[in-house]
Chain A
Amino acid sequence: MPTIAPAFADVTSSDSALRRFLHGLPGVDPVGLEARAASLGTRSIKTTAKAYAIDLAISMIDLTTLEGADTPGKVRALAAKAVHPDPTDRTTPTTAAVCVYPDMVATAKEALAGADVKVASVATAFPAGRAALDVKLADTRDAVAAGADEIDMVIDRGAFLAGGYMKVFEEIRAVKEASGPARLKVIFETGELSTYDNIRRASWLGMMAGADFIKTSTGKVAVNATPANTLLMLEAVRDFRAQTGVQVGVKPAGGIRTSKDAIKFLVLVNETAGEDWLDNHWFRFGASSLLNDLLMQRQKLATGRYSGPDYVTVD
């Protein structure tokens, strides 16, 4: 088992201690949080700053396909796009990773051989997370064995909402161990946690259990990443580093479709967690259609004329 930061050894020693700690976290002011997120979204990012932000956002994308209809061909096409997002402009940065289901990891790995693009795999009975721990661990080991560099796990929201924090905690620790060298992203599915307080608790729970990344959502429910819940998680990683010295990444996923949205998130990162997180090692976007919009904006900046969906690939 991975070691727990000494600061939290007593906190995580028993179910009741863990509950006491999580419920002792300061309550979230929802109105203030949303107002803060909205006000940071009004920043005007133009010209060279915009060009920088667009390239940074492209380099932070986990280009994702998580469909029942995924074929090896589609995964290969996605991998090609991750390496050369805009084939007409080789100065375009590569995306950070491609994100696929475990059975597609080998295909993605092969297609990305030699490229500086990682393979992330969802695991642990994604997206619902409704399976026995053994099954989840087998799912994880399978993905790592196939060559996944990163594992995106889902927490057991049912256990979390029922107050079984220790169960969730132990599960994350077990998956972390099963992931071995792969970086672990922990998905909370914020849209199912009902309150901002719960998102703050889940963030701390995940980080204490050894998450390398905390991630908003699966992209499979009605409410996915929002500026407010991402801001809340950015505050959590900032505070966690201040207390423990351990830096944890953040990944909003789902529902981020336009360059404007992506740039708003980057502003949140810079203003909340700080510059240290403005790097694809510490911040990612889980997205698929966002890349096309970023590419169209990039073409607009390069050529001065508006581009259209005919000039980027469909997937």
Chain B
Amino acid sequence: MSESTRLSVFKTYKLYVGGKFPRSESGRVYEVTTATSAAGAGGKGKWLANAPLSSRKDARDAVVAARKAFGGWSGATAYNRGQILYRVAEMLEGRRGQFVREVGEAEGLSKSKAGAVVDAAIDRWVWYAGWTDKIGQVVGGANPVAGPYFNLSTPEPTGVVTVLAPQESSFLGLVSVIAPVIATGNTVVVVASERAPLPALSLGEVLATSDLPGGVVNVLSGRTAEISAPLAAHQDVNAIDLTGADAQLAKELEVAAADNLKRVLRPRAEDWTAEPGTDRLTSFLETKTVWHPTGSLGASGSAY
């Protein structure tokens, strides 16, 4: 068959929930186009693909999957989590070409600029992979107390975290909000950028082949406001990162999240290309402190 007569094979973008790739339960899709600033777009985006338009039931299913995965993921050793996150970076490197194209189309970037974004995203996975077995020493440790006790604090993951990914930075921003959440042992339901969800949906394919247990990351695409409302009110979600919400939506979601005292990370202006620091790592950690007698009083005839 000659080159010119071959039909192109379009990719069906699907959700990533519980380690599987389902379509939306609702059967709905929406059109995803290139950024209007892309070369030749002329103010109107070119059709790229149909993405699933998730419903609240997809959100519910994703939470169930995330909850199911939480025990195993939070119980895995920090070292093991680091290895897996590094593996994600390896897999991304192997599909770099695809992501450069998708990010370029989604954000209207030239090939070289999109390449730089993808490289930064891969480096960010590596950066967070290194943090998994170090964050405990930085934010935990022994506390000096006035008594014959060892007093030790240790950070533990918050649980199931809903993340509204940044709307503009469809890939580097996405990685920068997911990686720190799972690095510390949380599981995540992420709502991809509404306008540019394709890199996020492709990331699901990478995560599925990176030894990351199913359900640790669940990727939903669709209308951010529609999916985030049931997630913010969901009683089995422990925290919500509102990065991808506008001011009005963020306020509504925060009110809904207060009902079961979810931990809330409010949206703020962020430069995704800058080195992130540990803020996002510590946002979804809970400190557990234990007291233990030192035993130093026993030898000289103490009260116990």
Question: What is the interface of chain A, defined by CB distance below 8 A to chain B?
Answer: 299, 304-311
Question: Is B179 part of the binding interface, using a Cβ–Cβ cutoff of 8 Å?
Answer: no
Q: Is the CB of A308 within 8 A of B235?
A: yes
A122-B67 Cα distance, complex, nearest whole Å? 35
- A299 to B234: give the CA distance in the assembly, Å: 11
Does B235 contact A304, Cβ atoms closer than 8 Å? no
Q: How many whole Å from A89's CB to the nearest CB in chain B?
A: 14
Interface centre among A308, A309, A311 (most CB of B within 10 A): A308
Residue of B nearest to A306 (CB): B234
> By the criterion CB–CB under 8 Å, are B236 and A306 in contact?
yes
- List residues of chain B with CB within 8 A of the CB of A305: 230, 233-235, 256, 259
Contact across chains for A308 and B236 when beta carbons are under 8 A apart: yes
14 pairs across A/B with beta carbons < 8 Å? A304-B233, A305-B233, A305-B234, A305-B259, A306-B60, A306-B63, A306-B230, A307-B236, A308-B235, A308-B236, A308-B237, A310-B235, A310-B236, A311-B235
Asked whether A308 lies within 8 Å of B233 as measured between CB atoms, the reply is no
Contacts of B230 in A (CB 8 A): 305-306
Residues of the A chain whose Cβ atoms lie less than 8 Å from the Cβ of B67: 308-309
B216-240 vs A, Cβ < 8 Å mask (1 yes, 0 no): 0000000000000010011111000
- Chain A positions within 8 Å of B63 at CB level: 306, 308
Residue in chain A with minimal CB distance to B231: A306
Residue of B60, B233, B236, B237 ringed by the most chain A CB atoms within 10 A: B236
Chain A residues whose CB sits within 8 angstroms of the CB of B259 once the complex forms: 305
Closest 9 CB pairs of A and B: A308-B236, A305-B233, A308-B235, A306-B234, A307-B235, A306-B60, A311-B235, A306-B230, A306-B235
How far apart are the CA atoms of A310 and B63 in the complex, in Å? 13
Q: Which residues in A have their C-beta under 8 angstroms from that of B60?
A: 306
Count how many pairs of residues, one from A and one from B, have CB atoms less than 8 Å apart in the complex.
28
Cβ of B257 to closest chain A Cβ, rounded Å: 11
| A299 vs B259: C-alpha distance when bound (angstroms) | 14
Nearest CB on B from A87, distance (A): 16
Q: Which of the four size classes fits the interface of chain B?
A: 10 to 19
Q: List CB contacts (< 8 Å) of B51-69 with chain A.
A: 60, 63, 67
Minimum CB–CB distance from B84 to chain A (whole Å) comes to 26
Distance in Å from the Cβ of A41 to the closest Cβ of chain B? 16
- Chain B min CB distance to A308 (Å): 3
Q: How far is the CB of B195 from chain A (nearest CB, A)?
A: 27
Cα A311 to Cα B234 in complex, Å, equals 12
**Max chain B C-beta neighbours (<10 A), residue from A299, A304, A310:** A310
Q: Which residue of B lies closest to A311 (CB)?
A: B235
| A306 partner residues in chain B, CB cutoff 8 A | 60, 63, 230, 233-236
CA distance A311 to B67 in the complex (A): 14
A22–B235 CA distance with the chains assembled, in angstroms: 53
Nearest-CB distance from B206 to chain A (Å)? 29
A304 contacts across to B, CB distance below 8 A: 233
Q: Are the C-beta atoms of B233 and A309 separated by less than 8 Å? A: no
Residues of A within 8 Å of B237, CB to CB, are 308
Chain B residue with Cβ nearest A304: B233
The B93-113 residues at the A interface (CB cut-off 8 A) are: none
Name the CB-closest residue of B to A308: B236
User: Which B residues are in CB contact (< 8 Å) with A311?
Assistant: 235
Least Cβ–Cβ distance between A292 and chain B, in angstroms: 12
A311→B259 CA distance, assembly (Å): 13
Q: Mark B227-267, 1 if CB is under 8 A from A, else 0.
A: 00010011111000000000000000000100100000000
- Chain B, residue nearest A305 (CB): B233
How long is the Cα–Cα vector from A309 to B236 in the complex, in angstroms? 7
Q: How far is the CA of A307 from the CA of B67 in the complex (A)?
A: 13
Q: How far is the CB of A304 from chain B (nearest CB, A)?
A: 7
- Once bound together, how far apart are the Cα atoms of A309 and B63, in whole Å? 12
> A310 — which chain B residues lie within 8 A by C-beta?
235-236
* From A305, A306, A307, A311, residue with most partner B Cβ within 10 Å: A306
Given contacts A305-B233, A308-B237, 16 further A-B contacts (CB under 8 A): A299-B235, A304-B233, A306-B60, A306-B63, A306-B233, A306-B234, A306-B235, A306-B236, A308-B63, A308-B67, A308-B234, A308-B235, A308-B236, A309-B67, A310-B235, A311-B235
Note all chain B residues with C-beta closer than 8 A to A307: 235-236
Closest CB in chain B relative to A245 CB, distance in Å: 45
Chain A residues with CB under 8 A of B234: 305-306, 308
A305 to B235, CA, bound (A): 7
- In whole angstroms, what is the CA distance A308 to B68 when docked? 12
A113 to chain B, nearest CB (A): 34
Q: A residues within 8 A CB of B256?
A: 305
Residues in chain B near residue A309, CB distance under 8 A: 67, 236
Q: Considering residues B233, B234, B235, which has the most beta carbons from chain A within 10 angstroms of its beta carbon?
A: B235
Quote the shortest CB–CB distance from A52 to chain B (angstroms). Answer: 21
Q: How far is B40's CA from A279's CA once the two chains are assembled, in angstroms?
A: 67
**Cα–Cα, bound, A44→B259 (Å):** 30
**Alpha-carbon distance A311/B236, docked complex (angstroms):** 9
Report the minimum CB–CB distance from B262 to chain A (whole Å).
Answer: 12
Residues of A within 8 A of B235 (CB): 299, 305-308, 310-311
A308 to B63, CA, bound (A): 10
Task: Give residues of chain B (76-105) contacting chain A, Cβ–Cβ below 8 Å.
Answer: none
B239 to chain A, nearest CB (A): 13
